[in-house]
Structure 1
Amino acid sequence: MSEKVVVIYSGGMDSYTVLHKALRDGKQVHALSFDYGQRHKKELDYAAKVCDKLNIPHKVVDISAINTLIGGSALTDDIDVPEGHYEEPSMKQTVVPNRNMILLSMAVGYAVSLEANEVYYGAHSGDHAIYPDCRPEFVNKMNDVCRIANYTQVEIVTPYLDVSKTDILTAGLAMDLDYGETWTCYNGRERPVACGKCGACEERLEAFRDNQATDPLEYEA
């Protein structure tokens, strides 16, 4: 029987690629998504559709109540989402305090309950400048903790930790993945049209340009 793993699956292009990599590696994937009150909750709809199509077990956990404790992020509060590239200091407004530690802790608990030994998530080098909880030192320390936090040791697996979103897209295109099945834009939209101006959109579009490929999503800008 194939090895069980938990994949933290947001519905964005990074976790979408990670999900498919785990499947290609022969893993028995259990996808886990979180509603933490993000304004771009539309990504969860994309995640659900993909998991339904692939017949993958998928849990969506509502943890939006944490916003009574943590705030100050443009992703969860009434703050305008900044425009520009991730390398610009203004993008720090999109940091959700302690988000990945919280999500990983819950995913590790889920893995223990499933008797799975790995949790995958899609941190990559393009996130390092802005998001402390996507940096190698964070992942390494979390792995140290996960080795002693339970009777079962769980490893946090980050296949693309040291590469860019461009490289992630390159890997995904080599797997013939359809990125029309993903949502990246930080601005929530009723229609399936991304803003094209937020850091998430800019980095995604840059990755497609670098790969000389066309993004299947529609953009306002």
Structure 2
Amino acid sequence: MTGHIPRHAVVIASGGLDSTAAAYLLASQGSRVSLLSFDYGQRHRKELHSAAKIADLLGAAHEVVDLRSVGRLLGGSALTDTSIAVPDGHYTDATMRDTVVPNRNAIMLEIAAGVAISSKADAVAFGAHAGDHSIYPDCRPDFFEKIAETIKAGNKGFLADDFELMAPFLHVTKADIVETAAGLGVPFELTWSCYNGDDLHCGTCGTCTERREAFTLAGVPDPTVYATEVVR
């Protein structure tokens, strides 16, 4: 993260651990944060409910952008097509390619930039991290650098002079995020990571596997209740 502390940051908020940690980090530095979530026809709405709860705790504005009509066109992903099973395993597994939503981050970031212009915010932030790089091309440093240039070029003269696209966790692991978030008092129990929308985190999908591993590696107690740990 650079030395620039935004006056007002629009944070793309999924309701998950990473984006929530990013919002808390910016708020802890004195930035005003607004949360922007996206309904793109994902399998469930639990993550959107989590984002709303996080916004309330932060005293932040929260808007949900309706992209369901776009999501219907972004087929081939287990996150938008219920005919495709959510794969179990680790993010390094090739099967996790089934969870890629085409061009998702580019779409969200461009919309967030428009919101930043309209609200005179001087930053847009999202929670991409190093653990995403192997599967998701729109979470990699190369993408981040190019989309930042595109946003600035496409909105020259309208963005704040000191506008910055921020990905504070781009080069760190999920375990690093958990460690940082614990120090910031992030309410882990309110965040939702699971790709499935059941009552509990399934404990076996890619994002649940990564979440569990991150807490273990960080040495931070995991308050998440996983279905795999519930005695039937």
The question of a shared fold, defined as TM-score above 0.5 by the shorter chain, is answered with yes
Runs of 5+ in structure 2 lacking a partner?
Answer: 1-5
Partner of 2:93: 88
Q: Deviations 1:5-61 (Å, cap 9, x if unpaired)? A: 100011000001000001011111111001111113201101101212222111011
Partner of 2:165: 156
Contact 2:41/2:72, CA 8 A, preserved across alignment: no
RMSD: 1.1
Q: Secondary structure at the match of 1:5?
A: strand
- 1:144 paired to 2:149: yes
Q: Secondary structure at the match of 1:148?
A: helix
Q: CA deviation at 1:107?
A: 0.2
Q: Supply the distance in 1 between the matched residues of 2:149 and 2:139 (Cα, whole angstroms).
A: 16
Contact 2:179/2:220, CA 8 A, preserved across alignment: no
Partner of 2:106: 101
Q: Supply the distance in 1 between the matched residues of 2:40 and 2:118 (Cα, whole angstroms).
A: 22
Q: Supply the distance in 2 between the matched residues of 1:67 and 1:55 (Cα, whole angstroms).
A: 29
Runs of 5+ in structure 1 lacking a partner?
Answer: none
Q: Supply the distance in 1 between the matched residues of 2:71 and 2:12 (Cα, whole angstroms).
A: 20
Partner of 1:197: 204
Partner of 2:220: 213
Contact 1:117/1:152, CA 8 A, preserved across alignment: no
Q: Secondary structure at the match of 2:154?
A: coil
Partner AA of 2:104 in structure 1: R
- 1:63 paired to 2:67: yes
State the TM-score, normalizing by the size of structure 1. Answer: 0.96
Question: Percent of pairs identical after alignment?
Answer: 47
Q: Supply the distance in 1 between the matched residues of 2:188 and 2:32 (Cα, whole angstroms).
A: 22
Partner of 1:49: 53
Q: CA deviation at 1:88?
A: 0.4
Q: Which one is further off, 127-136 or 211-220?
A: 211-220
Partner of 2:127: 122
- 1:29 paired to 2:33: yes
Q: Supply the distance in 2 between the matched residues of 1:29 and 1:62 (Cα, whole angstroms).
A: 20
Q: Secondary structure at the match of 1:59?
A: strand
Q: Supply the distance in 2 between the matched residues of 1:44 and 1:180 (Cα, whole angstroms).
A: 15
